[in-house]
Amino acid sequence: MATSTPGRTAPARRTPTLAIDIGGTKIAVGLVDDDGALVHQAKLPTPDGDAEAIWAVIESLVIEALSTAGGAVRGVGVASAGPIDLQTGTVSPINITEWQRFPIVDRLSAIVDAPVRLGGDGLCMAMGERWRGAGRGAEFLLGMVVSTGVGGGLVLDGAPYDGRTGNAGHVGHVVVDPDGRPCTCGGRGCVETIAAGPRMAQWAREQGWDAPAGADAKELADAAAAGNAIALRTFARGATAVAAMIASVGAVCDLDLVVVGGGVAKAGPLLFDPLREALHTYAGLDFIRDLRVVPAELGGDAGLVGAAALVISVR
């Protein structure tokens, strides 16, 4: 019969943390152990229904995970698409229009007997990569994604940086072209208007790219890999915009590492080579001259792992 050694296998250490990742296309719920391993995970598409239909999906996944955990969890970490509001525990994701100030923290507190900690999805990605991925050891980290949009989160002095309302780290809306195109945020010239996958595909078409029907950044990457000059130019342009943003945020926050994930980062050197080259041009100050930019390692799991990291103090 197994015996427990006091101090080594205290029951509390085995109690997992419940992690929830809420996005416009899917909702994922998982259990994360104290070493950051995802020990259970289930996902469902974000439904096209009203606010309560979306909540019902989360509730069902949470109940399933709680039963897998044997009823007890250490806490609940929630990664949500933004904007969020930490003061009221509400979320109003731009790509879940049915949710306007949805009281996610109160709803979860009503069904789970454990503290609930909300964070932006970008912040959770950064925390996840720092705990278990490409950001290990970094004390001043920007974790970011280049995908349908551009997003991110900051870990400063080893701790998640929420900002006043929970929305710090929205690096997709760093302006890199003051005369640039309108952005979904209401501003213009944001890095997202140049480097987000669909925006790159659109720009390439405008330059004369003979795109296959329905082509997005993935097909643009295939074209670039085959040597298509317009596609290569588009990736260089997107990467340069991202580099300008990184140099700016790097200087403001005195960063030591940037981890880049998201679908467009799967293009690998097509994005990272011109990005690093442009960063040399823009990162002039001594303290950011050696700022490293590396690919993310955790893929889609980073949000769940990072949401749990918000609950478990990870330093």
| Residue ranges binding ligand ADP (CB under 6 A) | 25, 147-148, 197-198, 216-218, 221, 262-264, 266-267
Closest-approach residue to ligand ADP (CB): 197
Query: Toward Zn ion, which CB reaches closer, 115 or 180?
Result: 180
- 284's CB contacts (< 8 A; 6+ apart) are 247
CA distances from residue 289 to 226, 269, 294 in whole angstroms, order as listed: 32, 20, 15
183 binds, among Zn ion, ligand ADP, none (CB under 5 to 8 A by kind): Zn ion
197 binds, among ligand ADP, Zn ion, none (CB under 5 to 8 A by kind): ligand ADP
CB of 110 to ligand ADP, least distance (A): 29
Query: Toward Zn ion, which CB reaches closer, 138 or 168?
Result: 168
Query: Toward ligand ADP, which CB reaches closer, 263 or 295?
Result: 263
CB of 167 to ligand ADP, least distance (A): 18
190 binds, among ligand ADP, Zn ion, none (CB under 5 to 8 A by kind): Zn ion
Asked if 148 contacts 197 with a C-beta cutoff of 8 angstroms, the reply is: yes
Long-range CB contact pairs, 107-113, < 8 A, 24+ = 107/55, 107/58, 107/59, 108/20, 108/62, 108/76, 108/78, 111/59, 111/62, 111/63, 112/18, 112/62, 112/66, 112/73, 112/76
Instruction: Write out the residues near Zn ion by the rule CB under 5 A.
Output: 173, 183, 185, 187, 190
CB of 267 to ligand ADP, least distance (A): 4
- Closest to 60 measured CA to CA, from 91, 17, 29, 90: 29
124 binds, among ligand ADP, Zn ion, none (CB under 5 to 8 A by kind): none
Query: Toward Zn ion, which CB reaches closer, 185 or 215?
Result: 185
266 binds, among ligand ADP, Zn ion, none (CB under 5 to 8 A by kind): ligand ADP
- 79's CB contacts (< 8 A; 6+ apart) are 19, 20, 21, 22, 119, 120, 121, 123, 124, 125, 303, 304, 306, 307
